Amino acid sequence: MKILVIQQARLGDIYLSWPTIRALRRHYPQGEIHVLVRSRFSAALTGLDAVDRIWHFPSQSLAESLLSGDQGLEEAEKCVSDFLGQLKEQSFDLIANLSFSPLSSYLTHRVSSENSQVRGYTRQADGYLSLPDDASSYFYAQVGPGRVNRYHLADLLAEVAGVSLKEEDWLAPWSFIEPREVLRVIKQTPIQPLEPYILVHVGASEERKCYPLSLWSKALEILNQQWDGQILVVGSAEEADRGEQLCSELEWAYNWCGKSSLPDLFALSKGADLVVGADSVLMHIAALTETPCLNLSATRIVNFWETGPRSQGSRILLAERMEEISPAVVSREIQNLLNKQPAKVPLMERVNNSYVGSEGLFSCRDFSWDLVQAIYAGGEIPILEDYSVYSALGQLNELCELALAQIQSLGSADQKLNLEVIQQVDQLVDQVARRQPEVAPLVSWFKTELIRIGPASIDVVINRTEKVYQNFKLVLSQYCGSPASQLRDNGPKAEF
Amino acid sequence: MDNQGEPKSWQSVLVEVGQKKANLQKNGYSSELEIVKIIEEFIREQVQSEDSGYPTGSSG
């Protein structure tokens, strides 16, 4: 069994893929597991014994060819063609694309052969996006910042690959975290070995995810006055200036940005009492070393449900923007975690493999999320509490009926008109979702099912399209045309 | 470098790739077109990475 895992995203995504790759090894103990990554991030595979061969996408060669010379494009085409030809020759039995980008979908299609089972984003024969498995279609429809998904990315990757995870899939390599190695790595840093310390990551995967340096400074200054432990600031070489600026005015805080390898970060995380930072690779390393985290998360750009810290006891401070997270709160919550005290502010906490909101935070009950679970996981159809949502569902129901009438009339003399009406229905459905975001997940599911139809004869496409609309109507009929019992008693009554 | 000896930019390369893609698309989807689309998406990721100051990806 020859397996290819495609992971073209960044360091954190690669670490989040570790459990899935390990699970693939468990499922296929005699299998040969290959992984395709970007060479810049391949260091994140160091220590993952489940991998037999690493392939590096030739980013540097491509860039050099494209940016120089008259024949740059031709050279780049040859480079890509040759590289992907090598992969295709492997004749993989299973290809799992754990990236969710257009580029990765084309790569997946290019390297798959007739007998390959493909999971994850790929392409149809006509070049259109293909979502061959339910997990990928869920990802396409429901995952990302601003959307309602609450499944963690690590679990979604496993679903895409078609494997189930076990606790043992989450362990760090023993050679990275065994006590002598941890001591060796700590001794390379300025902090005192065997004395408590916390690890602070001042950077993040993107600038906009970073906690402002001025606020870090205030938070750690307060902490410094109230706690006599050590603070080791880590990050990439590019973040060294940030680290230096931060540590220059603090006692017991040491800048170690750019000075540790990824394996060293495992050791430092294992030895730390707490890891503090924004959405970054360190959170995912801490998940593997089972180190609790205090995660600072801006809800406008990060969906913490998807990429939040997995280690038990971790806490997440939430705000729309990073600037809104108070440094006094950061300092206090660091101390609460260190002293194993309850949180003093509303936040999310990792408890028993799920996120739980502390009292005072928003309700974890959410109509849209409950609707998603009903559609994808057979959960109960949620009761409506908002008449405007009911109204939007009613509009969708009418549009659905209109489209079905057109589909059933296709083949008649007015076929062109039928198709125009269907196109307009399509646009109007989008408008309803924009005006009433609570129904957006339902619309997204519906649109994704249309994408999954794929190329076929016209009769088959019409039949499949009709089926998708009928399924849409089935969900809508739970609310539309049903008794007012679907609405809370104290809400407005629907008219039928 | 372009014809005038100036370093190429990603934007100019993207235009060049776009033109080739448009020509190939006239003949429907093909192996050659797929390679060009791969290159186009690669360039888009490079540009996005430069705009944000960080490489692209979903997290971390």
Q: What is the pLDDT of residues A172-209, one digit of tens each?
A: 999 999 999 999 999 999 999 989 999 999 988 788 88
Q: In degrees rounded to 5, what are phi and psi of residue A141?
A: -80, -35
- Banded pLDDT at A484 (limits 50, 70, 90): very low
The mean pLDDT value for A286-297 works out to 96
Rounded Cα distance, A406 and A389, in Å = 26
What residues does A38 pair with on adjacent strands?
A57
Q: How far apart are the first and last CA of chain B?
A: 34
Say what the pLDDT of residue A358 is.
74
Rounded Cα distance, A198 and A339, in Å = 13
Inter-chain Cβ pairs, chain A and chain B, closer than 8 A: 117
Location of structure tokens 């008109």? A417
Rounded Cα distance, A113 and A116, in Å = 5
Task: Tell me the H-state helices in A178-231.
Answer: 179-188, 213-226
> Do B60 and A15 make contact, defined as CB atoms within 8 angstroms?
yes
- Banded pLDDT at A359 (limits 50, 70, 90): low
- Banded pLDDT at B5 (limits 50, 70, 90): low
CA distances (Å), origin A457, targets A122, A332, A460: 21, 63, 5
Look at residue A361 and tell me whether its pLDDT is greater than 80.
no
Say what the pLDDT of residue A70 is.
77
Query: For the purposes of burial, counting CB atoms within 10 Å of the CB of B22, is it exposed (0-12), middle (13-18) or buried (19 or more)?
Result: exposed
B16 touches chain A (CB under 8 A): yes
Say what the pLDDT of residue A416 is.
80
- Banded pLDDT at A352 (limits 50, 70, 90): confident
In this complex, the residue of B29, B39, B44 whose CB is nearest that of residue A126 is: B29
Look at residue A442 and tell me whether its pLDDT is greater than 90.
yes
Look at residue A493 and tell me whether its pLDDT is greater than 60.
no
Look at residue B58 and tell me whether its pLDDT is greater than 60.
no
A293-297, A409-413, B5-9: which is most confident: A293-297
Please state, as a whole number, how many other Cβ atoms lie within 10 Å of the Cβ of residue A150.
17
> Do B8 and A207 make contact, defined as CB atoms within 8 angstroms?
no
Q: Which residues of B touch A38 (CB under 8 A)?
A: 55
Give me the amino acid identity at A434.
R
Q: In degrees rounded to 5, what are phi and psi of residue A309?
A: -65, 140
pLDDT in tens, A202-250: 988 788 889 999 999 999 999 988 998 999 999 999 899 999 999 987 8
The mean pLDDT value for A455-484 works out to 87
* % of residues, chain A, pLDDT over 90: 79
Per-position DSSP letters for A412-434, written without gaps between them: STTHHHHHHHHHHHHHHHHHHHH
Location of structure tokens 């994704």? A448
Say what the pLDDT of residue A365 is.
60
For chain B, what is the mean pLDDT? 79
Rounded Cα distance, A473 and A9, in Å = 37
Look at residue A496 and tell me whether its pLDDT is greater than 60.
no
Task: Tell me the H-state helices in A143-178.
Answer: 153-161, 174-177
Rounded Cα distance, A454 and A19, in Å = 32
> Do A153 and B59 make contact, defined as CB atoms within 8 angstroms?
yes
B33 touches chain A (CB under 8 A): yes
In this complex, the residue of A11, A72, A102 whose CB is nearest that of residue B60 is: A11
Look at residue A364 and tell me whether its pLDDT is greater than 80.
no
Say what the pLDDT of residue A315 is.
96
For chain A, what is the mean pLDDT? 91
> Do B54 and A207 make contact, defined as CB atoms within 8 angstroms?
yes
Look at residue A325 and tell me whether its pLDDT is greater than 70.
yes
- Banded pLDDT at B50 (limits 50, 70, 90): low
pLDDT in tens, A37-73: 999 999 999 999 999 999 999 999 999 999 987 789 9
Distance of CA A106 to the CA centre of its chain: 20
- Banded pLDDT at A309 (limits 50, 70, 90): very high
Look at residue A90 and tell me whether its pLDDT is greater than 80.
yes
> Do A306 and B32 make contact, defined as CB atoms within 8 angstroms?
no
The mean pLDDT value for A432-458 works out to 94
Dihedral angle over CA of A321, A348, A16, A238, nearest 10: 40
Say what the pLDDT of residue A287 is.
96
B5 touches chain A (CB under 8 A): no
Q: In degrees rounded to 5, what are phi and psi of residue A445?
A: -60, -45
Look at residue A428 and tell me whether its pLDDT is greater than 80.
yes
pLDDT in tens, A139-172: 999 998 789 999 999 999 999 999 999 999 999 9
Report the run of H or E that residue A305 belongs to, with start and end: helix A304-307
Say what the pLDDT of residue B1 is.
56
Tokens of B18: 């776009």
- Banded pLDDT at B59 (limits 50, 70, 90): very low
The mean pLDDT value for A439-454 works out to 95
Location of structure tokens 């705009």? B51
Say what the pLDDT of residue B60 is.
33
Say what the pLDDT of residue A269 is.
98
In this complex, the residue of A12, A81, A102 whose CB is nearest that of residue B41 is: A102
In this complex, the residue of B44, B52, B59 whose CB is nearest that of residue A279 is: B59
Say what the pLDDT of residue A100 is.
95
Lowest average pLDDT, out of A148-157, A326-335, A479-488, B51-60, goes to: B51-60
C-alpha closest to that of A118 among A6, A264, A257 = A6
